[in-house]
Amino acid sequence: MGRYIIRRVFGFIPVLFAVALFTFILVRVIPGGPFDYAGEKALPPQVVANIEAKYHLDWPVTWQFVSYLFGDDVVEFLSAGKYQQPADGGSKGLIRGDFGPSLRYRGQSVTDIIKGTFPISFQLGLLAMIIGLSIGVPAGIIAALKQNSWLDYTATFIAVLGVSVPSMVLGPVLIWLFAVKLGWLPVATWGAKPPFILGLFPRDILSWKFWSHAIMPAIAMGTGMSASIARLTRASLLQVIREDYIRTARAKGLSERTVIAIHALKNSMIPVVTIMGPLFAAVVTGSLIIEQIFGINGMGRHFVQSVGNRDYPLLMGVTLVYTFLLLIANLMVDLTYAWLDPRIRYD
Amino acid sequence: MKKIAILVSLLIVAGLLLAACGQQAPQTVVVTQVVEKNGEQVVVTQVVEVTPTPPPEPVTLDINWGTEPPTADPGLATDTTSVAVAGQMFMGLTKFNPKTGEVEPWLATSWEASEGGAVYTFHLRKDVPWVKYNTATGEVEQVLDDNGNPRMVNAHDVEYAVKRTLDPATASDYAYVLYIIKNGQAFNTGADGVTADDVGVKALDDWTVQFTLESPAGFFPAIAGMWVVSPVPQWVIEAAGEKWTEPGTVVTNGPYVMTEWVHGSELNMKRNPYWPLWAANGGDIKGNIDVIHGVMITEESTAFALYENNELDTTGVPLGEMDRVKSDPELSKEYYNAPDLCTYYYGFVNNKPPFDDVRVRKAFAMAVDKQSLVDNVLKGGQTPADHFAPPGIFGAPDPGAFSKEMPFDPEKAKALLQEYLDEKGMTLDDFNALGITLMHNTSESHAKIAAAIQQMWKDNLGVDVKVENQEWKVYLDTIKKTTPLDEVPHIFRLGWCVDYPDENNWVYEVFNNTAGANRLRRGCVDATCTEVKPMKFDELTEQAKVEQDPEKRKELYYEAEHELAVTEAAYIPLYFYVINTVTKPWLQRDYPPLGAPNYWDWVIDWNAKKAATGG
């Protein structure tokens, strides 16, 4: 098991490299550059050239990529001084944990931006995930066990509703109802400001101030998730219940409760766990819509806005963070399989 | 003896009551007391005047910046949010009157132009200190010089700021605004042998700064009010580098200092008590706002919900809420429709057939019902435009000046198009087979406008126009004058917003076929405009740029606007923007049409705000 994990983690490196390379090329292929225009104003070419020189966008693309990965000093060394690192040292390169400067937010580095926004997205995503699972799994189980009863129909109906009502509708409705009309909750923003516990978890998790801000966005994000989890759990459990080994368990005379809890549930969780991996990576890196509606300073918006701004390093940064989380989450999923299904072994 | 004791006890009671009533509006309290007078007990009733203590909390303005400002550095700012932030912290030489938009003294108390108008001399205030916010104590502190005296903003700071903006190493987007200064362009573009010393800005003494221009420019005092000219602290920038604008590091000279900047979330400011223009310091600025609490909410409807919840003092009105705001008894009183110095237009590619013929351009222009567009599609109280520069810009014709010559007139439009078709021996079907294309950048509101105008052309001219859209930066690339003719759309959408309130910033910088981007492809010798011939409009705008006499300039600009919109019909001006805002009744404010919002002039009735917010 240990060797398997180590092997997988080493396998991350070529994946991350490939993602970095493809993203790097793709963003530069899109027409338009980060500094051609200020608003609707076309900037004189000389002005654009000054700014591009500052961010080394005048270097050949290969050297830009080398600089992104290994730093400006390596470029200067490898190109025998043809491309010089700037006086302040310039980018230290991804390999040394430097994601480079943001092209849009002058004076902020991509590392600063990710450090400031990722913890908030992580908290929100985690809360939404907890809501999604704690509603979705039980609802799915009940619906499956009471198949074709009113409980099943109600649960299915709510699940369909949850999937169909997008968060961009649910969010404003929640705001209108609980903040504007009833005045119970604040309209927007995330309650906590950095620092957080361990850099990720909210510092004042027990305070009402935190929850009053957190509850609406977490629900808006979590309900859609709970609906799809419920549907998946129901379908999977229904299938498992019809398996031969369940019939065997019943034939042995085990109580229905034991059959379901010990034999059926565990196996039916495999498809759920499978989608949990990518879902986790997606929700903890933020959601543009939820962040927009609730005015949350999360990372999700940067996935979209960095493309519009042609903020190459920021786009690369958030993409790589997402890739890394996805790889970790998928590894976790694979490890969970071994526990859920005894037939799966990693040696 | 007894009497004194009674008096003392009375005073104590009154004192207690007074303490209990702290932070309340002024009121009188009736105090009843049993006292012994001449050996008998008497009930004495006294009316005690209770003076309320002044509100201990700072008067706070709650606003929405709208988005994370890309920078707070006045030398780098290009967008409205950055300008709004930098404008609170740094003073320009001049400023624009928040009501009329006229140029007024700010850091400079007076200025004069030389004979001929190519040299401008500005005289600065001598009493504006550099200040810094101490994040540990929460106090604003003056920056002291080597002798322990407050370090005042001086002419050398202005000279440094201008040279820094123009320095290619600063990489400022708006450096080009300063190309009017002698050698500004040469220095910024790294021309051989040109150094910062050659740039035409010089501190004559500590309080006088002189600008030498490339050519006479009557609008230079307006440029001097732009953020890129604001003095900045050289020693801080050199020590702290790019991060010099962070709270605790940044040294400023404006009415407010930055106290906190949580990137992407909040940016807060506090009154600079050392600023000499406050009424309290003997100046004439009467605003009472102590603290600016600014959030960054991108979503308009969320900001509006915050406003309704009394969490913001003012905000924009989302289009979807317009009808409710106008009909609601409360909100309609808080609503204000302020002009915004921006123009929305459709440009023709003037050398792409069939739009190389003025009759076709005129036909398309006259077939657009701008009033109906504003009333039925935009619904935000915009003004239909018949030329480029909106009212409030020096030299702009009055709205409607050309609407007689270029009216909405389907009959005339049809006749003009028919004339063209007859001459070319075409039918309307042949014309439609040309595949006329209108392109806009991807956005719901642009799509709505395009659909409405497409329908107007269909109804009024019988022509079929294809509407296409592209993502913003791709789009800007497509409509460049260098794009091959068969790839560029016939008609494109763009807007323009003010930098400084002079026609030069409008017709000359945008449409002059050598100075501007020439997306209209006017006067092109070849298809992609590598060579252009100046037309009458281009000559007029060149002339007006250097003309000294303001009246003469106005005439030239009137003629130029007429030339472009009527004679050439090179584009269709559609409408002038407005900003729809709501403001809480306790806030007295202005709606400055350009530059940074003047929070320093705003006044909040703090008790009213507190009563409403339950604070």
Encoded tokens for B536: 């009458």
List the 185-204 stretch of A: residues with Cβ below 8 A of B: 186-190, 193-194
CB contact under 8 A, B176 and A112: no
For chain A, say whether B343 makes contact (Cβ under 8 Å).
Answer: no
Query: Would you place residue B200 in the very low, low, confident or very high pLDDT band (cuts 50, 70, 90)?
Result: very high
The shortest CB-CB distance from A38 to any of B174, B473, B496 is to B174
Average pLDDT, chain B: 89
> Nearest residue of A to residue B296 by CA position?
A295
Q: In the structure, what pLDDT confidence band is assigned to residue B22 with cuts at 50, 70 and 90?
A: very low
| Facing residue for A180 by CB, picked from B262, B308, B477 | B308
DSSP labels for B192-227? TT--GGGSSEEEEETTEEEEEBSS--TTHHHHTTSG
3-state SS string for B490-544: CEEEEEEECCCCEHHHCHHHHHCCCCCCCCCCCCECCCCCCCECCCHHHHHHHHH
Question: Which of B297, B442, B493, B518 is the best substitution to test chain A (most A C-beta atoms within 10 A)?
Answer: B297
Query: B48: which 2 tokens?
Result: 């005690």
The residues near B2 (Cβ < 8 Å, ≥ 6 apart) are: B36
Residue B441: closest C-alpha in chain A: A40
Q: In B343-406, which ranges are continuous DSSP H helix?
A: 358-366, 370-372
Q: List Cα–Cα distances, B263 to A187, B131, B245, B598, in angstroms.
A: 20, 22, 12, 23
Task: Give residue B190's region: left, alpha or beta (phi > 0; psi -120 to 50).
Answer: left
The whole-angstrom distance between A105's CA and the closest CA on chain B is: 4
- What's the pLDDT score for residue A186? 85
Q: What residues of chain B, 269 to 288, have a C-beta less than 8 Å from chain A?
A: none
Distances (CA, A) of B280 to B32, B90, B112, B285: 41, 20, 30, 9
Q: Is A89 part of the contact surface with chain B (CB cutoff 8 Å)?
A: no
- Please indicate whether residue B45 or residue A220 has the higher confidence score (pLDDT): A220
**Nearest neighbour of A40 by CB, restricted to B262, B309, B496:** B496
CB contact under 8 A, A292 and B299: yes
Residue B544 three-state SS: helix
Whether residue A40 and residue B168 make contact (CB cut-off 8 A), yes or no, is: no
**Domains of chain A as residue ranges with CATH:** 2-96 (no CATH), 110-340 (1.10.3720.10)
Which residue in A has a C-alpha nearest to residue B306's C-alpha?
A187
User: CA of A159, closest CA in chain B: separation in Å?
Assistant: 27
The model's confidence at residue B400, banded by pLDDT at 50, 70 and 90, is confident
> Nearest CB to A106: which of B76, B175, B295?
B76
Give A332: exposed, middle or buried? Use CB within 10 Å, 0-12, 13-18, 19+: middle
Q: Which two tokens stand for residue A144?
A: 């499956």
pLDDT band at B17 (very low <50, low <70, confident <90, very high): very low
pLDDT for the residue B11: 47
Same fold, B60-313+584-613 and B337-578: no
Give residue A193's pLDDT: 63
User: A180, B78: Cβ pair inside 8 Å?
Assistant: no
- Residue A220 is classified by DSSP as H
The rounded distance, in Å, linking the Cα atoms of A216 and B332 is: 30
A134–chain B Cβ distance below 8 A for any pair = no
The answer to whether A37 contacts chain B (CB < 8 Å) is: yes
Q: How many CA atoms lie within 13 A of B211 on its CB side?
A: 31
- Residue of A47, A111, A175 to mutate, testing the B interface (most B Cβ within 10 Å of its Cβ): A47
The percentage of chain B sitting over the pLDDT mark of 70, rounded to a whole number, equals 91
Top CATH class of B337-578 equals alpha beta
- 8 Å CB contact of A47 and B173: yes
Distance CA B407, CA B402 (A): 8
Closest CB from A41, A54, A308 relative to B171: A54
Of the listed ranges A285-299, B25-39, B350-364, the least confidently predicted one is B25-39
- Which residues of chain A make contact with B473, given a CB cutoff of 8 A? 30-33, 36-37, 308, 310
User: A186 and B296 in contact by Cβ < 8 A?
Assistant: no
> pLDDT digits over B66-103, tens only?
889 999 999 999 888 999 999 999 999 999 988 888 89
Predicted pLDDT of residue B10: 47
**Residue A166 gets which letter from DSSP?**
-
- Is A295 in Cβ contact with B296 (below 8 Å)? yes
A108 touches chain B (CB under 8 A): yes
> Which of A30, A51, A179 is closest, CB to CB, to B173?
A51
Mean pLDDT to the nearest integer, B369-398: 92
The residue to which tokens 């080994």 are assigned: A245
* Distance between first and last Cα of chain A: 6
Dihedral sign computed on CA atoms, order B395, B398, B403, B405: negative
Q: How far is CA B338 from the centre of its chain?
A: 12
Size of interface A-B (CB pairs under 8 A): 143
Highest mean pLDDT out of A254-263, B26-35, B43-52, B517-526: B517-526
Are B60 and B269 contacting, i.e. CB atoms less than 8 angstroms apart? Answer: no
Residues of chain B with Cβ-Cβ distance to A41 below 8 Å are 496
Report the DSSP pairing between strands B27-37 and B491-497.
unpaired
In this prediction, residues B180-202 reach a mean pLDDT of 92
pLDDT of residue B317: 92
Q: Please state which of the ranges A183-197, B33-47, B182-196, B409-423 shows the lowest mean pLDDT.
A: B33-47
Does A170 lie at the interface with B, CB-CB under 8 angstroms? no
* Facing residue for B302 by CB, picked from A37, A88, A295: A295
Quick one: tokens of B409?
């007139």
Cβ neighbours for A87, distance < 8 A, ≥ 6 positions apart: none
Q: A318 near A299, Cβ under 8 Å? A: yes
Q: Does A39 reach chain B within 8 Å, measured CB to CB?
A: yes
B60-313+584-613 maps to CATH 3.30.365.10: no
Give the nearest chain B residue to A51 (CA atoms): B171
Cα B109 from Cα B106, distance rounded (Å): 6
Contact A294 B302 (CB under 8 A): yes
Phi, psi angles (nearest 5°) of residue B259: -105, -30
Q: Given CB atoms, is B191 within the 8 Å cutoff of chain A?
A: no
Confidence of residue B18 (pLDDT cuts 50, 70, 90): very low
Residues of A in contact with B175 (CB under 8 A): 47, 50
Asked if A187's CB is within 8 angstroms of B302's CB, the reply is: yes
Mark the ranges of chain A whose per-residue pLDDT is less than 70.
39-40, 191-199, 202-204, 347
Q: Does A42 touch chain B (CB under 8 A)?
A: yes
Give the pLDDT confidence score for residue B98 in this predicted structure.
Answer: 87
Whole-number pLDDT of residue B29: 61
Interface membership of A345 toward B (CB under 8 Å): no
Using the predicted structure, report yes or no on whether residue B24 has a pLDDT greater than 50: no
Q: Which residue, among B263, B312, B508, would best test binding to A if mutated, counting the most A CBs under 10 Å from its CB?
A: B263
* B62, β-bridge pairs: B293
Q: Quick one: pLDDT at residue B20?
A: 44
Backbone angles phi, psi at B531, to 5 degrees: -130, 135
Predicted pLDDT of residue A263: 84
Q: How far apart are alpha carbons B313 and A133 in whole angstroms?
A: 40
- Among candidates A30, A105, A188 on the partner chain, residue whose Cβ is nearest the Cβ of B306: A188
Within 8 A of A106 by CB-CB distance, chain B residues are 70-71, 73, 76, 242
The residue of B188, B245, B473 whose CB has the most chain A CBs within 10 angstroms, and thus the best one to mutate to test that interface, is B473
Contact flag A36-B175 (C-beta cutoff 8 Å): no
pLDDT of residue B536: 95
Q: What span, in angstroms and rounded, lies between the C-alpha atoms of B421 and B354?
A: 10
Q: At residue B474, what are phi and psi to the nearest 5 degrees?
A: -65, -45
Instruction: Yes or no: say if B490 and B431 are a contact pair by the CB < 8 Å rule.
Output: no
The full set of domain ranges for chain B reads 2-50, 60-313+584-613, 337-578
Structure confidence at residue B293 (pLDDT): 95
pLDDT given at position B28? 62
Interface probe for B, chosen from A30, A37, A41, A178 (most Cβ of B below 10 Å), is A41
Contacts of residue A189, defined as CB under 8 A and 6 or more positions apart, other chains included, come to A213, A294, A295, A296, A297, B265, B295, B297
Q: Residue B325 in contact with residue B333, Cβ under 8 Å?
A: no
At residue A65, the pLDDT reads: 92
Most B CBs within 10 Å: which of A106, A180, A193, A302, as the mutation test of the B interface?
A106
| A179–B299 CB contact, under 8 Å | no
For residue B297, which amino acid is it? I
pLDDT of residue B88: 96
